[in-house]
Structure 1
């Protein structure tokens, strides 16, 4: 794989997946605009068929595989579901390796798409070893969730779409975990608009990319419970792409407390957006006063909706 993903890669991905992913809607937020001191737009990416932005990268990566026995990955949910969807569309098998800790509703969502949810061990690391074995021994294409050029290029199509819809966007606020979304969106947006600001937002509890940026290289840190659970997990000690791209393309990084993430969830729910904690970090940053629209229109990416409804209801009631 190349060391960077270019605008040409992203534009090719858009042509490749354009008839398989949705152009998701934008909505203005009057309440957040008032708080932020300028226009705030919500990019409702959770309206993808699988409920998250991951469908873009998975679809592009699957479209690029040659003759293989199938595709595989290790996942805790959104990427596995997206890969299962893309594999079904192409008519090839998918085996999603998951640990025993993954909730049943996420397993069901994957099997309903015709993929096998293979339960391996008690950790994501153990599950990933099975995905590697399937690649080595059975001829499956291994498509990791973020550190893969075709996955990043697919996520980058969201950056093109944002600038198509809001040409004068001044800042894009992006949930940050392994960095595939931020790397792709930033590569697209900054290639077209070098002056645009890219702000990554994550949680204080267990943000591996933030910790790695602090020391200048990928490191492992403990994964801690958080409302933004989709932003958990490591970035890989042998990270080839996303660490460097995030380091070079991101202008600012905001880390939120759990209370600030919950505030974002509640605020967006009042406007009809039932989303997961990772998708609410942009709103949480605005509400905390740490993210403003001082430079011009601010875009918040609402990245996914795959939250347990009972847990969402608890948060709405103020349950920690």
Structure 2
């Protein structure tokens, strides 16, 4: 029996009212090539075309709108949440310090700096960077807005679920890139509140998937971060995770973990169809290409979550297949 969601449909509807003037309604496109492979209709939710190039703007905007008077805002991020928080903070004239590990690609650091925020490099993992964000909250009066385990962030990401069902009302399955779980928790809470029979599938990488390891253990665990093409899916979920771990556990119907080659296959296939996305956004397509994700029971929606990949790295991956 599914537990009561900790972020409700009412929370998500309120978030939609709060952010609708600050975020885009992103396109939904059919994919004939993936539909043929999956055995049924496949739709691509092109969230990579969101302002700042990723879904993270939804949660960050909703959270920043609710912080009140603070010295600034801070977070730990693998890149996309930091960029979104920097954008949302600048829109409201609030200083932002984004704490990140040395594994974050340079293009994501540059994008944050261009938005007027400080990109502060701390340690070799997102968990280490998070300690600095906690210090800024404790010692300097910053509002800490985590990348996923926060009710306002989850509710903001959940607005994507409302959009998906508005665009594809008969969707049978939604496939969602899975890292800390904010996107999956929010989208699943919205979708299952409106359509309890809808299937939610999380997709992640085999290298350093913290949520998968935590689900296997039955509680949040620490893992070693490893370099992966799906770098935005890296990082821990936090040993004191309050929201996303139980929500993912209760609302997700299946989990698929991909090899680096399978992620690259997804990225290349999407590029051939005109979608230039990052590795984390390509995992759902990679799952279809691997034969592990199908559309036999009805329309399948794949969330293409972000586009923030280093152009040289993207070109090199495409070149590998030629």
Give the TM-score normalised by the residue count of structure 1.
0.96
> Which residue matches 1:301?
303
How far apart in 2 are the matches of 1:107 and 1:231? 16
Total equivalences in the alignment: 318
Structure 1 regions of 5+ residues with no counterpart?
none
Match of 1:245 among 247, 260, 275: 247
Contact 1:209 1:235 in 2 (8 A): yes
- Aligned CA-pair RMSD: 1.4
Contact 1:3 1:241 in 2 (8 A): no
How far apart in 2 are the matches of 1:219 and 1:121? 19
> Which residue matches 1:277?
279
Contact 2:210 2:223 in 1 (8 A): yes
How far apart in 1 are the matches of 2:60 and 2:287? 28
How far apart in 2 are the matches of 1:209 and 1:122? 19
How far apart in 2 are the matches of 1:98 and 1:215? 27
> Which residue matches 1:154?
156
CA 266–104 in structure 1, closer or farther in 2 if over 3 Å, else same: closer
How far apart in 2 are the matches of 1:294 and 1:163? 19
How far apart in 2 are the matches of 1:114 and 1:181? 26
Q: Which structure 2 residues correspond to residues 120-131 of structure 1 after superposition, within 5 A?
A: 120-131=122-133
> Which residue matches 1:10?
12
User: 1:112 deviation in Å?
Assistant: 1.0
Give the TM-score normalised by the residue count of structure 2.
0.96
Of 239-248 and 207-216, deviating more is: 207-216
Of 64-73 and 183-192, deviating more is: 64-73
User: 1:131 deviation in Å?
Assistant: 1.3
Contact 1:3 1:240 in 2 (8 A): no
Q: Which structure 2 residues correspond to residues 52-67 of structure 1 after superposition, within 5 A?
A: 52-67=54-69
Structure 2 regions of 5+ residues with no counterpart?
none
What per-residue deviation string (whole Å, max 9, x for no partner) do you get for residues 260-319 of structure 1? 111111110001111011101111111111111011000000000011111111111227
Of 114-123 and 163-172, deviating more is: 114-123
Contact 1:22 1:49 in 2 (8 A): yes
CA 121–175 in structure 1, closer or farther in 2 if over 3 Å, else same: closer
User: 1:100 deviation in Å?
Assistant: 4.2
Of 152-161 and 68-77, deviating more is: 68-77
> Which residue matches 2:145?
143
What per-residue deviation string (whole Å, max 9, x for no partner) do you get for residues 38-90 of structure 1? 10000000001101000000000000111111101112211110000000111
> Which residue matches 2:28?
26
How far apart in 1 are the matches of 2:35 and 2:276? 20
> Which residue matches 2:165?
163
Match of 1:264 among 260, 263, 266: 266
User: 1:215 deviation in Å?
Assistant: 1.6
